[in-house]
């Protein structure tokens, strides 16, 4: 029979301290991993946004068409298709950002930075959205429609 405070008791105490230290270490690792994932998510979204902006910069005729569309002007069928492709690409980018925010890898204020694009308040956008809203997830539709009063 072992005396109270003997070697077995010390072994238990050391074991408990080891478990606690391991849990603290795992907690620190999870936090660092979460920060790394958030940083990578933001970088990926920013890169996607820059790609779209650079594309627009390289195609001034598309900018002119987007401006005309934004003023509510009628466009030729090819011009309208180009503009709507860009708007659709932007919406996919925004939906991805929304999804990342829902997953906790993007802060809500960063999503708002992208969601504040004036394209979404252009005259033709409401019609465009009503025709294509079904192609997007329900959560994103609800978010965008509430954010821009599109219902």
Q: How many Å apart are CA 66 and CA 69, to the nearest integer? A: 5
Tokens 């002007």 correspond to what residue? 73
- Cα–Cα distances (Å) from 58 to 62, 117, 146, in that order, read 9, 20, 33
Q: How many Å apart are CA 57 and CA 51, to the nearest integer? A: 10
* pLDDT of 33 strictly over 80: no
CB distance 82 to 89 below 8 Å = no
Q: How many Å apart are CA 107 and CA 103, to the nearest integer? A: 10
- The domain locations on the chain are 7-148
* pLDDT of 2 strictly over 80: no
* pLDDT of 57 strictly over 70: yes
- 75 pLDDT band, cuts 50/70/90, is very high
Q: What's the rounded mean pLDDT across residues 81-87?
A: 93
Res 22: pLDDT: 80
Give the torsion through C-alpha atoms of 138, 139, 145, 148, to 10 deg: -150
CB distance 114 to 100 below 8 Å = no
Q: How many Å apart are CA 133 and CA 110, to the nearest integer? A: 23
Res 18: pLDDT: 79
Burial label, 33 (beta-carbon count in 10 A; 0-12, 13-18, 19+): exposed
pLDDT tens digits, one per residue of 85-139? 999 999 998 999 999 899 888 889 888 887 888 888 888 898 999 999 999 999 9
Res 133: pLDDT: 95
Res 17: pLDDT: 82
């Amino acid at each position: 029979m072992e005396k109270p405070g003997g070697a077995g008791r010390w072994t238990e105490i050391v074991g408990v301290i080891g478990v606690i230290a391991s849990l603290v270490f795992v907690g620190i690792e999870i936090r660092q991993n979460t920060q790394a994932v958030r940083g990578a998510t933001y970088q990926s979204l920013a890169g996607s946004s820059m790609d779209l902006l650079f594309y627009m910069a390289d195609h001034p005729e598309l900018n002119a068409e987007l401006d005309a569309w934004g003023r509510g002007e009628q466009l030729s069928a090819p011009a309208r298709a180009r503009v709507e492709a860009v708007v659709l690409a932007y919406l996919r980018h925004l939906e991805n950002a929304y999804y990342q925010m829902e997953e906790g890898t993007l802060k809500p204020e960063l999503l708002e930075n992208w969601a504040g694009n004036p394209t979404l308040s252009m005259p033709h956008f409401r019609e465009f959205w009503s025709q294509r809203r079904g192609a997007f997830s329900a959560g994103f539709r609800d978010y965008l429609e509430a954010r821009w009063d599109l219902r």
